[in-house]
Structure 1
Amino acid sequence: MIWLGVDLGTQSARAVAVAEDGTQLAVGSAALHGDREGARHVQDPAHWRAGVRTALRALAGELSPAQRSAIGGIAVDSTSGTFTILGADGNPRGPGLMYDDNRAADRVGAVREAGSALWEKLGYTASPSWALTKLSGIVHTDPDLLAARGNRLAHQADVVTAMLTGNPRVATDSSHALKSGFDIVHLRWPEALFDRLGIPEAVLPDVVTPGTRIGELCASEADETGLPRGIPVFAGMTDGCASQLGSGALAPGDWNSVLGTTLVLKGVSTELRGEPTGAVYSHRGPEPGTWLPGGASGAGAGVLSGLFAGAELDSLTAQAESAEPLDCYPLAAQGERFPFIAPEAYGFVGDRSLGAQPLDARAVAEFGAARVFSSVLHAVAFAERLCFDLLATAGLPVHGRVRIGGGGTKNEWWNQLRADVLGRRLERTVNTETAAGMAVLAAWAAGDRGLAEVAETMSGVARVYEPGGTRHDDQYAAFRAALQNRGWLRS
């Protein structure tokens, strides 16, 4: 059998076809573009659908007729906390509010107060960029949008699965619903919380567990994509969870670190544990008794495309190896949510003796491309170490394997630097496509084997990075001090 996974990221929609043994048979993609301005970050939901259609059409074109007929299912992941409002006809009633849109940050206090009992039970709390916080903001800025008959909340993946199945009221999954306030312990929407916030219950979709069959590819989308009608469509998970499944690191204490536009860490635990600031939260695993704790940072490789557009990154890397890094925090947009929560945080770079300035083209001109490039790569590694420090402090098991994926792993020197800074053995996965995790989920959902067994069969390790003799402790201490001096990191 062949399994399809779809990933809706920040910059692209990607689809992969994966065989039972993990062989990647076909890939399709389409660019996605957003609109950023300060705390605002939106995309057009129509582009999510168009992008997925383009990606699936390209994928179908790479498969033979026999391969297309052997497709056993499809699942979709998307960025956590991204949503829009769909009308009764399934069409968007407004823009897609992205995972890091922080315009409703001033509502987070009310959200935390309204759900204080829930947050205490779950072990974490809402953050300024959560979908629930944004919904609370909409109540005050555009209440008619939520009150209109037939309008409902649709996470980014739901917009696509509604299209694929032809069902405008398709169920969402508990993974995507988490940041919308879903109670993942009792698997229900907490009515009292939404009543206190003035969010109509009618806007909330039905919720199922990941891997639940929610429909099948409808005739119109079969015609649009070139895929066979009737392919089972399974409820997916968020992008961080998808990467976790695709990595094969599914034993308690294992972690998967995905370095793309942002840095996302997900691990495995047998008990629900949180962290009071809300920087760490746990998804319920697809299988009973498993939890996938972790968090998603705003730091990552996303700043590189803006700072070094058109540059030869291999050459920059060679120069960066001998360049002394500056104090830096690598944010492409305002606000941070993991390993600390600071809506006011911004990207900066600079020498401690000279102060710091925004991480932009002027900084590259002042300090030189090689030094700023080195600073960003080191800062991401330090942010990753800070993430693991926070996870350990929260009492989560961090003793197992650490697998890495994402576009950032194409830089071999960066991989080794991360291993050195963490003092951990890192395993780069063979298939770095986030969408492959959804192919794993679909294969598990349609079969009778355990998830870890399916994932291990469909994943593998391409290369191992052993830590060197230094962890850059002095530079890491300076990195923490720079964050503490700004009031972003409080311990």
Structure 2
Amino acid sequence: MTERGFLLPAGKRGLAVGVDVGTGSARACVVNQNGDIIAVASKDIRTWRPSIKLYEQSTSDIWRSISFCVKQALQESGIDLGTVRGIGFCATCSLAVFSQETDQPISVNGPNFDKVDQNVILWLDHRPVVETDKINKTGDEVLKYVGGKMSVEMEIPKILWLKNHMPPELFNQCKFYDLVDALTHMATGSETRSYCSTVCKQGYLPDGVEGNHQGWKDDFFEAIGLGCFKADGYSGLGGINGKNGTFASAGDRIGTLSESAANDLGLPAGIPVGSGVIDAYAGWIGTVGADYNSDRDSCAGISQALGRLALVAGTSTCHLLLSKDLVFVDGVWGPYRDVLIPGIWMAEAGQSATGKLLEHMLEVHPAYNDMLAAIERDESPRGKYDWLNDRLGEMARSSNSPSIAYLGRHLHFYGDLFGNRSPLADPNMTGTMVGITSDRSMDSLALTYYSVLEFIALQTRHIIEAMKKAGLSVLALYISGSQCQNPLLMSLIATSCGMSVMIPQYESAAVVHGAAMLGAMAASGGRYGQAEDLWDIMRRMSKPGTVVPPSDNKREKKLLDVKYMIFLEQVQTQMRYRREVNEAVGGV
């Protein structure tokens, strides 16, 4: 195998494999040196729900799904396996638990912890509410780097929950991985952890930050009840960098594919493996590198990416923005240093539910089944969102409305049904709707659908304005994910936020495409050489798709501005109602 496969002349460069483990499925793709996706495959992942707040998965089941996907993609591509130069992984920010002694999975399923296959607490699991509150009450300076509060979705609260519920002798055997680190460990045997996944445990600080030089902050862990990790140098969390652990930035070569993993995946052993990242960060990699400006300064380097806000939109939406400076934003996770580019900070905002919210609001409407029946009668390949967009267009034309937005002018929906991640960082936020009637028709369903799209767009503006107010520069919107296939939503986001939306060519595969770029980076340095910069790989392998400009309809823009002011009032009114009621009943 060529030592510097991705730095050879273009005609001799090899291929890379990307693996993405999402909330409900795994995907794998094969890409060439120019970033063209040759083949992609996917397979569902099993999720257990022991109760309404608990979501559990299995690393064994996830690995089987990965193996299927990689083999399927390789078969469909028809490539020579000897031309594969590297592989990269990304995954949800979920917690995986293994034994320090045997390296075998340890169950996270209480109270008996005997279902060994269930060793992953999924990111959206909300079991550690009490633990999260305890952590946030410390007021520790670590919390500045998570927007001021830890989220119930994060991993340190989940680890604390396990300590509080596991038998002590079992907890003391555990080592804890972010899921992507677990997968790269299973692929290579290496214990190297990625900075991206480590900071998402929310207890780790980069070298020199807040005077800390070991990553883990002793007094913080003592205060929250996890001081037990200090005794062995935090080995259960990955250790201390340069002492009993190693941490790497995105795409750094952390090892090579082992014989057993290679056999599972259908690949040759010895292929370089890049340091993995959280799936949303892989989405950033696969989204913001595309060139929409022919006169772009090719010598500007990573500074070209500053100001490009990536929205990775699917079940939820993550908002990712790089900065050279340390900037704190209330309700925005981070800033995290070194996670993608060494020395550069990343701010991570998010909407806990966007695609999931849309599905929920449609499914509970009385006309939902009528809509499905109408689509079936049409015998049309259109999906329900296309059908609803067409319905709204017809409603606007038949009523001589100046825009679709005008149809929903008196319907005000606030959609934090699953709590607020950013910029409020308030898991107690809920939903409200003003302007509902007794209408049970499909027209009412279409308006409900529109109101959810409008909420997603207005909340995006809310996040952007919070970032700008804190001092971050947001110059352009780059969006990828399944929601990019909805032109009405993209137009609403562009118009609400007052800037064009850039959508990459591989809009629905940006995350797995980004994972493949990590594999390309790992391969580029060979065994001894200096790897190609991640940004240079992104520029070379990313491809522009479409641009959605803001609407030039001034009346629509004015209406959305007013709706945004009402949106903000809904936020404040809900908080006031909750506070006044709590004061009245003497509780929370």
1:230 equivalent in alignment to 2:270: yes
1:457 matches 2:484: no
From the superposition, tell whether residues 330 and 53 of structure 1 become closer, same or farther in structure 2 (CA, over 3 Å): farther
CA contact (8 A) 1:299 1:380 kept: no
Deviation, 1:396, is: 1.2
1:203 and 2:242 matched: no
How far off is 1:24 after superposition? 0.5
Equivalent residue in structure 2 for 1:101, among 101, 104, 125: 125
Q: What is the correspondence of 1:134-149 to structure 2 with a 5 Å cutoff? A: 134-142=158-166, 144=168, 147-149=171-173
- Structure 1 residues not aligned, in runs of 5+: 355-361
Alignment-derived partner of residue 50 in structure 1: 64
* 1:30 alignment partner, SS class: strand
8 A contact 2:196–2:340 mirrored in 1: no
Aligned counterparts, 1:242-257, within 5 A: 242-249=282-289, 251-257=305-311
Amino acid at match of 2:73: L
User: Cα gap change, 1:281/1:484 in structure 2, threshold over 3 Å: closer, same or farther?
Assistant: farther
Question: In the TM superposition, what is the alpha-carbon distance from 1:158 to its structure 2 partner?
Answer: 2.3
SS at match of 1:77: strand
1:279-318 to 2 correspondences below 5 Å = 279=333, 281-306=335-360, 307-308=362-363, 312-318=384-390
SS at match of 1:255: strand
Farther off after superposition, 480-489 or 407-416: 480-489
More off after superposition, 21-30 vs 336-345: 336-345
Call closer, same or farther: CA 1:489–1:59 in 2, change over 3 Å.
Answer: farther
Distance 2:197 2:222 in 1: 21
> Residues 420 and 73 from structure 1, CA distance in 2 versus in 1: closer, same or farther, beyond 3 angstroms?
same
Q: What's 2:572 paired with? A: 484
The Cα of 1:424 is off from its aligned counterpart by 0.5
- Say if 1:248 and 1:460, in contact at 8 Å, map to a contact too: no
**SS of equivalent to 1:344:** coil
**Matched residue type, 1:52:** I
Question: Residue 353 and residue 146 in structure 1: after superposition, are their counterparts in 2 closer, same or farther (change >3 A)?
Answer: same
Supply the AA of the counterpart residue of 2:570.
Answer: A
Q: Hey, what's the Cα distance between the residues in 2 that align with 1:90 and 1:61?
A: 31
Among 56, 73, 77, the alignment partner of 1:59 is 73
In structure 2, distance between residues paired with 1:130 and 1:121: 13
On the 8 A contact 2:28/2:70 being kept in 1, the answer is yes
TM-score, normalised via structure 1 length: 0.88
Query: In the alignment, which residue of structure 2 is the partner of 1:371?
Result: 447
In 2, the alpha carbon distance for the partners of 1:394 and 1:174 equals 25
State the AA in 2 paired with 1:239: D
Query: Gapped runs of 5+ residues in structure 2?
Result: 1-13, 108-118, 209-213, 230-234, 239-244, 290-301, 373-382, 394-403, 525-530, 579-588
**Are 2:211 and 1:178 aligned?**
no
User: Offset of 1:175 from its aligned partner?
Assistant: 0.7
Moved more, 132-141 or 36-45: 36-45
Q: Do the aligned residues in 2 keep the contact of 1:429 with 1:460 (CA within 8 Å)?
A: yes
Q: Provide, for residues 106-125 of structure 1, a one-character-per-residue CA deviation record: whole Å limited to 9, x for no partner.
A: 22343235571333478744
Q: Measure, in 1, the Cα distance between the counterparts of 2:418 and 2:353.
A: 10
Bigger drift between 31-40 and 407-416 goes to 31-40
Which whole-Å deviations, capped at 9, do the CAs of 1:90-111 have from their partners, x for residues lacking one? 3321242222222212223432
- How far did residue 482 of structure 1 move? 1.8
Secondary structure of the structure 2 residue equivalent to 1:316 = helix
Q: Residues 350-400 of structure 1, C-alpha deviation per residue, up to 9 Å, x if partnerless?
A: 33477xxxxxxx99779832112111111111111111111112211112x
Partner of 1:359: none
Aligned counterpart in structure 1 of residue 326 of structure 2, from 268, 272, 284: 272
| Equivalent residue number for residue 33 of structure 2 | 20
**Two-structure CA RMSD over aligned residues (Å):** 2.8
CA deviation string 1:134-191 (max 9, x = no partner): 2222222225376333x200111123223222x2x63321111113111134462223
Q: Which amino acid letter does the alignment assign opposite residue 252 of structure 1?
A: L
Q: Which has the larger radius of gyration?
A: 2
Paired with 1:481 and 1:270, the residues of 2 have a C-alpha distance of 34
Distance in structure 1 (CA, Å) of the matches to 2:79 and 2:480: 31
- Which one of the candidate residues 319, 328, 349 is aligned to 2:413? 328
- Find out whether 1:436 has 2:513 as its counterpart: yes
Q: Give the letter aligned to residue 315 of structure 2.
A: T
Q: Distance in 1 between matches of 2:455 and 2:330?
A: 25
Residue in 1 that maps onto 2:585? none
State how far apart, in whole Å, the 1-side matches of 2:577 and 2:517 are: 37
Secondary structure of the 1:368 match is: helix
1:100/1:111 CA distance change after superposition, 3 Å? same
Residue-by-residue CA offset, 1:253-285 (whole Å, 9 max, x unaligned): 111112111111111110122224455543534
Q: Distance in 2 between matches of 1:389 and 1:203?
A: 39
Q: Percent identity?
A: 23
Tell me which amino acid in the other structure corresponds to 2:389. T
Q: For 1:42 and 1:6, how far apart are their aligned partners in 2? A: 20
The 1-side partners of 2:225 and 2:53 are apart by 24
Task: Tell me which residue corresponds to 2:424.
Answer: 340
